[in-house]
Chain A
Amino acid sequence: MKRLLVILVVVLVIDVQSCSPNNSPTVKTGKDSSITPITHADVERWIAAWNSHNLDSIDAFYADDALIYQTQNPEPLTKKTMNHFFEMVFKTYPDIKFESKAITVEEYEAVSWENVTGTMKGEFTNPTTGQTLAPNGKHFEYEVAKRITYNHDHKIKEVHIIFDELTLSRQLNLPIK
C-alpha cells in the first residue's frame, strides 16, 4: 500500500510539473519586450520626434547601421550623415510639420502615410547637386509614403521615402535640374 501511495504521489507531481509551464501566465521580461512586433505606437513616437524638431530625439530611433533611401538621392543617408541633413531641413523649413494620415503595421515593417507642410525660410543645399537655394518664403504641402523596417529591438534599420518632387518644386518655385 505504501508503494502504491509513493507511485501515486510521484505520478501526480510529474503531471503537475509537466503541465505547469503551459498553465501559468508568463511575465514579460525585458528580453521578451525586445522581440515583440512593432505597433502603431512605434511609428507615432517617430512622427512625434520629427515634429519636435529635436535632432537627438530623432537620431535615437535609428540603429547604428540605419540607411534612409529617397528616390531622388543618389546615396542613402546613414547614421553619420543624417543629422547634418535633418538640421538643414529644420533650418530651411522651421515650421515643417508631419501629419499622420494612416499607418499600416505588420511584424517589423510599417508604412507611414503623411501630409507634410512647411514654409521655405532658410537656404537649402540640394544633396544631389550641391546647389544652394535662397529662401523664398513660399509654402508647400505634399503627400509622402515612408516604408520603415525595424530591428527586433525596435530601432529603425531602413526607411524608404517616396514623394512627388515635381509637386514640391512647383509649390516652392524651385529650379529643377
Chain B
Amino acid sequence: MKKIIFTVLVTLPISMVFLSCSSNNSSDLKASKDTSFAPITQKDTIYSPITHADVERWLAAWNSHNIDSINALFAEDAMIYQPQNPKPLTKQTMNPFFEMVFKTYPDIKFEKEGITVEGYDAASWENVTGTMTGPFTDPATGKTIQPTGKRFEHKGAMHITYKPDHTIKEVHIVWDQLIVLKQLGLYCNE
C-alpha cells in the first residue's frame, strides 16, 4: 500500500506538470493567435495578407471621386487591364482617364455586391451606376462622344492583385460594355 501511495504521489505531480504543460501549450497557441489583437506594427502591415478592409478602401476612394486618393492606392508600376482597351492604363496614364470618367458621369457610384480575398488577391463584385452628363473620349478609338443625359447601371468584376505593402499591382476589369452602350443610347449596330 505504501508503494502504491508512493507511486501515486510521484506520478501525480509529474502528471500535473504534464497536464499543466499541455494546458500551457494550448494557452501558448491561443496566445499566439491572440497576438493578432496586439497593435499592428509597420512590419506586420507590410507582410500581412490583404483583408476586406483593403477592398473597402478601394471602393471608398472611387466613391470619393478624389483622383489623388485613388492614385495613392496603386504601386508605381501598376497596370489596369480592360479587355476593351488596346493598352493597359499605367500610374502615369490613369489620372487623365479617371478624371474624364468623373466629368462624363459626375454621379458615378460603385456599390459593393461582394468581396472575396485570398492572400494578396481580391475579387470585388460591384454594381456601377451613373448618368452621362459630360463628353467621353473612347481610349480605343480616340473618338469623342457627346453626352446623352441617360443613366446606366451595370455589374463590374474587378480582379485586384496587391503587393505585400498593400499597394495595387494589377487590376483586371470585366464588364459588359454592350449593356452600358444600349442604356446610354450610344449603340449603333455595325
Contacts and interface: CB of A to CB of B under 8 A. Distances in A.
B19 A164 contact: no
B155 to A, nearest CB: 5
Given A104-B123, A111-B116, A143 B174 contact: yes
A142 B116 contact: no
Q: How many B residues touch the partner, as a band?
A: 35 or more
Contacts of A144: 174
Contact of B125 (A11, A23, A160, A176): A160
Interface stretch (A12-20, A83-91, A132-140): A12-20
A105 to B, nearest CB: 5
A71 B155 contact: yes
Interface of B: 1, 4-5, 8-9, 12, 15-16, 19, 22-23, 26, 83-84, 114, 116-118, 121-123, 125, 154-157, 159, 172, 174-179, 181, 187, 189-190
Interface in A83-128: 102, 104-106, 109-111, 113
Given A8-B9, A176-B189, A71 B179 contact: yes
B178 A164 contact: yes
Contacts of B179: 71-72, 165
B118 A106 contact: yes
B121 A104 contact: yes
A7 to B, nearest CB: 10
A106 B125 CA distance: 14
A41 interface: no
Interface residues of A, number: 39
A131 interface: no
Given A104-B122, A175-B189, 20 more contacts: A2-B1, A8-B12, A16-B19, A19-B19, A104-B116, A104-B121, A105-B118, A106-B116, A109-B114, A111-B157, A111-B159, A113-B172, A147-B114, A147-B157, A162-B175, A164-B83, A164-B84, A165-B179, A167-B83, A176-B189
A164 B157 contact: no
A162 B176 contact: yes
A72 B178 CA distance: 9
A162 B174 contact: yes
29 contacts: A5-B4, A12-B8, A15-B16, A22-B22, A71-B176, A72-B176, A72-B179, A104-B121, A104-B123, A105-B118, A106-B117, A106-B118, A110-B116, A111-B123, A111-B125, A113-B174, A145-B159, A145-B174, A147-B114, A147-B123, A162-B156, A162-B157, A163-B174, A164-B175, A164-B178, A166-B177, A166-B181, A175-B189, A176-B187
Contacts of B125: 111, 147, 160
Contacts of A5: 4-5, 8
